[in-house]
Chains A and B, each alone.
Chain A
Amino acid sequence: MIRTSSLTKRYGRITAVDDLDLDVREGDVYGFLGANGSGKTTTVRMLLGLVLATSGSIEVMGRAMPSGARQVLPEVGALVEGPAAYAHLSGRANLALFDAMGQGARRATRAGRVDDALARVGLGGVDSRPVHAYSLGMRQRLGLANALLRRPRLLVLDEPTNGLDPQGIREIRGLLLELNAAGTTVFLSSHLLAEIEQMCTRVGVLDRGRLVVQEQLDVLQQPTGRVVVHTPDADRARALLDGQVEHQEGERLLVRVPDAAALNALLVGGGVRVASLSAERRTLEDVVLAATSSGSDTFSAPAVGR
């Protein structure tokens, strides 16, 4: 769906995006994770043909960008660095205007498309007040509606839940998963680990313009071969397990065993009371912290890493 090779963008002497090889497959919910200033937005803009790459190539839906923009972009919906609209017009009028731009949108079905998009993002009952009277959350929803207008095959969303309350975030998450289930590929750029972890099937991590991780989320989160055990009888458990405990922290034990069920049977059989027991998995946070240097908006001297 999206494939870049050696994608690089320099602004003068600053390299914003460095030798990026993205690979987003059809049907993915791809989480594009990175700290502020790591080059996420620049990458998104390059994918959409807004910013021209210094070198490297981009392919979206099998066509080169930006030369194939006329064929590609009608099938892409996007939200780039916050929503934007003509403040003196109503949301509905805004969508009608944006729908009339470019080619291939039939006029007869315009009102239907606009209503549909507004309904999807929960603005179906909005009145005709101008956009400058909208709340931040409403503007964000309107931006999403604009992205959804043409029923895109690919959604490129930059921080889509900005400004939404928890209820709104959940609604949008549900909407995106629903769209994905219906066949839409979603490219989600965010600096929020939790958001990515909850929605995405595949993750790319950007650090200072370089792609440091790109993998299926479930591969990243595979079991570590250790089991976490919470027990009030920690000392008895330690004795019973004899050297298999790698780490103890109060009532929490980390045990290296291949089979959690067998461990449970062993402990219970040994008279140890088990409060909880589960196989340990790596969190996305661990992966990201391991792969990245300190946040790129800190400027500590001497510089860490590169």
Chain B
Amino acid sequence: MILVELRKMVRSRRTWTTILLIDALPTLVAVLLAITDLGPRPGQGPAFLSAVLTDGTLFPLAALAIVLPLFLPIAVAITAGEAIAGESQAGTLRYMLIRPVGRTRLLVAKLVSVMSFVVLTVLVVAATAYVVGTLLLGKGDVTTGSTSISGTSLSTQELLLRTLLALAYAMLCMLGVAAIALFLSTVSESPLGAALGTLAVLIASTILLTLDAANALQPWLPTRYWLAFVDLFRDPILWRDVVRGVLLQLVYVVVFLAAGWANFTTKDITD
């Protein structure tokens, strides 16, 4: 079943359109930076963007910081919101279930498919950003490596390792989004409803994070530790928020998958 879902994902034109759209923004940013040579003022703009001007190899990180807060969650919410509600709306859900495909198995297959989409998107964004970054913005000195946020130097291997960790962390954050959207997809009749519901949760979370009165709630908000991947580039690495972020996302994944499972496996399919 997982293979079938992957095949459907890869063969869908929408998958590639979405990836292309997500990829377009950081590429545009790189082109603009290369032409104008104007970085954001220090302390403003997405992380790493100011450092990119001197070292294009850092651009994958800047690209990640650009797409992570908004573009990627929207794409994930739409894709995962589509998962069950979309099949239900197209009428294909009932034919899957009477093949028969177990409902739990279907849910897992959908999650794997959404996650593969995320991995694919993140890798495509990182790869194009690396190519675009080194072509347009130039390479830093490869032999000396790069500078960590704390002002120490990082070897190229270390930078690569930390970048991979950051990518993995971003993917995990998106897994949390996918779990929420998947749950809503089993509840809502319409895929758009599920996607918008997920975005509403994320926007509410972002707003509550800026509110001091919501202090007690903040450690539990899904977007609380999203930007903690920046901590991976401090020296020594600040694991505190990253670890909490990982645990929190796992909690979201487990809870919402369980809720999705409880709802979907006992639901009357009446589309």
Chain A interface size, under 10 / 10 to 19 / 20 to 34 / 35 or more: 20 to 34
15 CB < 8 A contacts A-B = A45-B270, A48-B97, A49-B97, A49-B98, A50-B94, A50-B269, A50-B270, A51-B268, A80-B98, A84-B90, A84-B95, A86-B92, A97-B8, A100-B7, A101-B99
CA A216 to CA B151, docked complex, whole Å: 88
Q: Would you call A102 an interface residue if the criterion is a C-beta within 8 Å of the partner chain's C-beta atoms?
A: yes
Beyond A97-B4, A100-B3, whether A88 also contacts B92 by CB under 8 A is no
Beyond A85-B92, A97-B4, whether A73 also contacts B98 by CB under 8 A is yes
Chain B residue with the shortest CB-CB distance to A150: B99
Contacting residue for B94 out of A74, A76, A80, CB 8 A = A80
| Per-position 1/0 for A64-89, Cβ under 8 A of B | 00000110011010101111111111
Chain A residues closer than 8 Å to B98, beta-carbon distance: 48-50, 73, 76, 78, 80
Smallest beta-carbon distance B17→chain A, Å: 12
- Assess the A101–B268 pair: CB atoms within 8 A: no
Chain A residues closer than 8 Å to B94, beta-carbon distance: 45, 48, 50, 80-81, 84
CA A86 to CA B13, docked complex, whole Å: 12
Q: Which of B4-62 contact A (CB under 8 A)?
A: 4, 7-8, 11-13
Q: Would you call A146 an interface residue if the criterion is a C-beta within 8 Å of the partner chain's C-beta atoms?
A: yes
| Per-position 1/0 for B72-108, Cβ under 8 A of A | 0000000000000000001110111111111000000
Contacting residue for B100 out of A74, A81, A82, A88, CB 8 A = A74
Smallest beta-carbon distance B56→chain A, Å: 38
Chain A residues closer than 8 Å to B12, beta-carbon distance: 88
Chain B residue with the shortest CB-CB distance to A99: B99
| Per-position 1/0 for B99-120, Cβ under 8 A of A | 1111000000000000000000
Chain B residue with the shortest CB-CB distance to A48: B98
Chain B residues closer than 8 Å to A82, beta-carbon distance: 91
Chain B residues closer than 8 Å to A87, beta-carbon distance: 90
CA A76 to CA B90, docked complex, whole Å: 22
Q: Would you call A134 an interface residue if the criterion is a C-beta within 8 Å of the partner chain's C-beta atoms?
A: no
A-B contact count (CB 8 A): 70
Chain B residue with the shortest CB-CB distance to A89: B11
- Assess the B268–A146 pair: CB atoms within 8 A: no
CA A70 to CA B98, docked complex, whole Å: 9
- Of residues B3, B94, B100, which shows the largest number of chain A Cβ atoms within 10 Å of its Cβ? B100
Chain B residues closer than 8 Å to A102, beta-carbon distance: 1, 99-101
Closest 5 CB pairs of A and B: A84-B91, A73-B100, A102-B99, A50-B269, A51-B268
CA A102 to CA B8, docked complex, whole Å: 15
Smallest beta-carbon distance B80→chain A, Å: 18
Chain A residues closer than 8 Å to B1, beta-carbon distance: 101-102
Chain A residues closer than 8 Å to B152, beta-carbon distance: none
Smallest beta-carbon distance B188→chain A, Å: 18
Q: Would you call B150 an interface residue if the criterion is a C-beta within 8 Å of the partner chain's C-beta atoms?
A: no
Q: Would you call A52 an interface residue if the criterion is a C-beta within 8 Å of the partner chain's C-beta atoms?
A: yes
Chain B residue with the shortest CB-CB distance to A82: B91
CA A52 to CA B263, docked complex, whole Å: 13
Q: Which of A28-85 contact B (CB under 8 A)?
A: 45, 48-52, 69-70, 73-74, 76, 78, 80-85
Chain A residues closer than 8 Å to B91, beta-carbon distance: 81-84
Q: Would you call B266 an interface residue if the criterion is a C-beta within 8 Å of the partner chain's C-beta atoms?
A: yes
- Assess the B102–A70 pair: CB atoms within 8 A: yes
Smallest beta-carbon distance A302→chain B, Å: 31
- Assess the A50–B97 pair: CB atoms within 8 A: yes
Smallest beta-carbon distance B11→chain A, Å: 7
CA A73 to CA B101, docked complex, whole Å: 9
CA A144 to CA B247, docked complex, whole Å: 48
